[in-house]
Every structure is written in C-alpha cells, then in structure tokens.
Amino acid sequence: MPEKACSFEERSNAVKLSLIVAIAVLLGLGFSLSLALANPALLPKHPGYPAGDAVSPVTGQPLTNDPGQTNAFGEKAVLEAASAEDAHVSQTLIDPNNERLMKKEWAGQLPQVQGPQIKIEPTVKEGTRMQK
C-alpha cells in the first residue's frame, strides 16, 4: 500500500503544535529555574538576615554592605525613615539684607542695624481739634 502524502495544512499544524509545546517547555523550565534561584538560602546576605562574618575568599572584603547591622523595625524604623530627608527638604535661605541687623524689633518698629542710627520722628507730634 502506498503511503498517504501529508497535506501542507497538516504539516503546518504539526509545526505550530511542536512550536507551542517547545515554548511551553522553555517557559516551564525558566519558571522552575527562577523559583530555584529565588531561594532565600541562595541569595546574598543583607540586613534583616544574619550575615555573620562572611567574607569574599578572593578579596577578603565583607560580602554585605554593612556587616553586623541588624534590621531596623518598629518605631525605630519609622523614626529613621521620617528623619532621613530632613536635611534635604528643609530650606536654609539666607537673605543678604539681614546681615546688617543687630536687633530685630517687634511688629511695627524698625530694626536696629549697623551703620548710622537714623531716628525717624513721627510726622504729627500733636493733634489739633477741629472747631464745630
């Protein structure tokens, strides 16, 4: 009996199916590998996990950025996070006009400054009554 020849459509369907299976197998292997590499025991030590005295066998430097530091938690972590940007966000503007000030007065009064002491007299010294 002669073999039946496969049509073009049957071959293209077989190629598509094998391509889909190959991609699925590769994705499955990649996912499995990512889970294996994400094991915390395989990750480098960092604050929050006990780092110990782990050093590089090549350079002798510590394997952590801050060896011996513990993980900040609770109120301490909140306070440190809140104060981390204080110096960055506070304004320290200097007004060059205030360099001559010797003493600031209260509202409505002129401050004392370096230089000639000029006294400004009130424009009206005494009031007059209007006659009716």
SS3 113: strand
Separation of alpha carbons 42 and 33, rounded Å: 13
- Domain chopping of the chain, boundaries: 1-44
How far lies 113's CA from each of 93, 116, 117, in Å? 20, 8, 8
Per-residue pLDDT of the chain (132 residues; tens, 9 = 90+): 556 667 777 888 888 999 999 999 999 999 988 877 777 666 555 445 555 667 888 888 877 666 666 656 677 777 877 787 787 788 888 888 788 888 888 887 877 888 777 777 777 777 777 787
Separation of alpha carbons 118 and 115, rounded Å: 9
Nearest to 30 by CA among 18, 20, 22: 22
Cβ atoms of 64 and 54 closer than 8 Å: yes
